[in-house]
């Protein structure tokens, strides 16, 4: 069921009360800190293998180290448009309508009923900078609903030579170093923040294109790999060994579904291409990390770092030869599902100490309820009596705040994209991942015993009861709505 709307007059009243309370707090009353600013940094196609202190020292220094890293942060599902739609709405695809990149944003139900609109109604100034739901022209030159500031691709999407829309005004960026998209987006992020009044809370979604691949070449990179700003950047920061997990070039894939079982072993030539693609991705993320460091120092100089909640994540993972999968992101194995996911909450908004690492299962659908919670209990309503039912949960209890979080949380990944192996529904818990494909094939992995998913135990008699339970859980999640009621998303 798509875009569930419900009567919520009381919820709207609560939002108004919260907004009034903020006004007093932001004007220097003794009610406590005012509403926090929120910065959501989203990167495109970053795998876990490049999310390390070695490759991203600034991000770890400013966000991950003083914040909380979620080691089971999931892209549910692992594909650009459905993941971003989940961030926008706090809902799974079966409730917001976006199951794939085609038609992508066009299939989103309730485009005027999303996170930026809810925050805008609550007194936030909202800004979007970067790549919007995969399709460069999906929202046209004008801002998508809810955004007060809009700087997004008009096409083609890339690192150099592209058009952007700044609040509907078309602007061309060419081949000069100053046109590199990562740097351009950081500059416009500062422009948005700097133009927001000191007493007005802001929400910025900063969506870098990196490390998405691109066709145009620059030195050694491009040609369906990521593109660092210069060849020198690649030579200085991209010469690193390819990580080789036990699942790389898996020797026996006969237990896998047909789209994997028929893949050939990876030879020397293909491996060299994977190595180059990894090197290009690392060098490209080096520039993202450098820009994040500049942005954090700038926020500190402005005195805004201590009242800004920062979220960092990727819209999906990526494959570098695991299970013989040479590239891509959609198969529901760990390299695609698990993503970089970290949140830093300033001390004034914690209420308690936050863990440096959390193993709780969290997803992109949790972003909206988490932000709304910290923003003062803002309700997901586009107007009186019209509200969404959120499938995600606030992560505040995992970040030093009050409340509780389900210890055995199960997450749903549902995908309907063109191509073999790309239509499935999966349930992921701390210990298991269970997958049902549209052609009837099934997979089950015990992640504690087999973290690299080398042995499919679907149909294994010793796992029969577990498989039955997970199949029932998956069936429930595929029709769930909200965290309460007849079919809660637990």
Give per-residue pLDDT as tens, 272-313: 999 999 999 999 999 999 999 999 999 999 999 999 999 999
Residue 434 confidence (pLDDT) above 60: yes
Copy the structure tokens of residue 84: 């971003």
pLDDT bin (cut points 50, 70, 90) of residue 13 is very low
- Whether 346 is covered by a domain: the verdict is yes
CATH of the domain at 266: 3.40.720.10
Percent of the chain whose pLDDT exceeds 70: 91
Q: Could you tell me which of 389, 452, 279, 406 has the C-alpha nearest to residue 6?
A: 389
Q: Is residue 81 part of a domain?
A: yes
385: which DSSP letter?
A: T
User: Both tokens of residue 320?
Assistant: 């570098």
Residue 170 lies in a domain: yes
Q: Which residues pair with 446 in a beta bridge?
A: 432
Pairwise CA distance, residues 391 & 208, whole Å:
26
Residue 416 inside a domain? The answer is no
Contact 308, 39 (CB under 8 A): yes
Over 70: is that where the pLDDT of 19 sits? Answer: no
pLDDT digits (tens, 9 = 90+) for 186-244: 999 999 999 999 899 999 999 999 999 999 999 999 999 999 999 999 999 999 999 99
**Token digits for 413?**
């990944």
What is the number of other CB atoms lying within 10 angstroms of the CB of residue 20? 12
Closest CA to 75 of 358, 338, 312: 338
Q: How far apart are CA 259 and CA 267, in angstroms?
A: 19
- 124 has a pLDDT exceeding 50: yes
pLDDT, mean over the chain: 91
Q: Is residue 471 part of a domain?
A: no
**How sure is the predictor about 141, in pLDDT bands with cuts at 50, 70 and 90?**
confident
Give the structural domain span for 64.
5-409
Per-residue model confidence as pLDDT tens digits over 92-116: 999 999 999 988 999 999 999 999 9
pLDDT at residue number 383: 78
- Band of pLDDT at residue 33, cut at 50, 70 and 90: confident
Helix (H) or strand (E) holding 227: none
| 8-state DSSP, 225 | B
Domain count, the chain: 1
Burial category of 96 from C-beta neighbours within 10 Å (exposed 0-12, middle 13-18, buried 19 and up): buried
Q: Tens of pLDDT along 361-413? A: 999 999 999 999 999 999 999 877 789 999 999 999 999 999 999 999 999 99
Whether residue 404 is contained in a domain is answered as yes
Distance of alpha carbon 55 from alpha carbon 251, whole angstroms: 29
């Amino acid at each position: 069921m798509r875009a569930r709307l419900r009567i919520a007059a009381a919820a709207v009243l609560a939002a108004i009360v919260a907004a009034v309370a903020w006004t007093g707090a932001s004007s220097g009353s003794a009610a406590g800190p005012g509403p926090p600013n929120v910065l959501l940094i989203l990167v495109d196609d970053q795998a876990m293998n490049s999310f390390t202190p070695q490759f991203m020292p600034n991000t770890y220094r400013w966000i991950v180290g003083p914040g909380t890293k979620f080691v089971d942060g999931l892209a549910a599902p692992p594909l650009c448009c459905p993941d971003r739609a989940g961030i926008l709405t706090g809902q799974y695809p079966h409730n917001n309508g976006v199951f794939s990149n085609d038609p992508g944003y066009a299939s989103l139900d309730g485009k005027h009923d999303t996170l930026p609109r809810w925050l805008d109604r609550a007194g936030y100034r909202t800004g979007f900078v970067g790549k919007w739901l995969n399709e460069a022209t999906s929202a046209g030159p004008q801002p998508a609903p809810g955004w007060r500031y809009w700087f997004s691709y008009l096409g083609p999407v890339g690192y150099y030579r592209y058009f952007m829309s700044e609040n509907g005004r078309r602007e061309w960026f060419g081949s000069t170093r100053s046109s590199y998209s990562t740097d351009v987006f950081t500059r416009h992020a500062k422009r948005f923040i700097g133009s927001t009044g000191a007493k007005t809370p802001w929400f910025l979604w900063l969506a870098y294109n990196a490390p998405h691949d691109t066709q145009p070449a620059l030195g050694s990179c491009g040609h369906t790999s990521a593109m660092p700003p210069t060849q020198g950047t690649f030579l200085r920061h991209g010469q690193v060994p390819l990580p080789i997990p036990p699942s790389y070039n898996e020797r026996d894939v006969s237990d896998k579904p047909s789209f994997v079982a028929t893949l050939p072993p990876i030879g020397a030539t293909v491996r060299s291409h994977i190595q180059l693609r990894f090197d290009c991705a690392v060098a490209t993320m080096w520039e993202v990390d450098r820009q994040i460091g500049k942005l954090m120092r700038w926020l500190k100089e402005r005195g805004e770092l201590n009242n800004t909640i920062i979220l960092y994540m990727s819209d999906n993972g990526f494959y570098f030869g695991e299970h013989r999968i040479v590239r891509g992101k959609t198969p529901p194995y760990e390299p695609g599902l698990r993503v970089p996911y970290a949140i830093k909450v300033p001390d004034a908004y914690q209420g308690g100490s936050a863990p440096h690492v959390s193993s709780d299962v969290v997803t992109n659908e949790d972003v909206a309820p988490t932000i709304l919670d910290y923003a003062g209990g803002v309700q997901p309503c586009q107007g009186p009596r019209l509200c969404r039912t959120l499938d995600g949960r606030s992560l505040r209890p995992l970040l030093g705040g009050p409340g509780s979080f389900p210890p055995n949380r199960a997450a749903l990944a549902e995908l309907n994209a063109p191509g073999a192996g790309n239509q499935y529904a999966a349930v992921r818990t701390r210990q298991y991942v269970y997958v049902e494909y549209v052609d009837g094939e099934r997979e089950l992995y015990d992640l504690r015993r087999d973290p690299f998913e080398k042995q499919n135990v679907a149909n294994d008699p010793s796992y029969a009861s577990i498989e039955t339970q997970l199949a029932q859980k998956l069936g429930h999640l595929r029709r769930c709505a909200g965290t309460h009621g007849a079919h809660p998303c637990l």
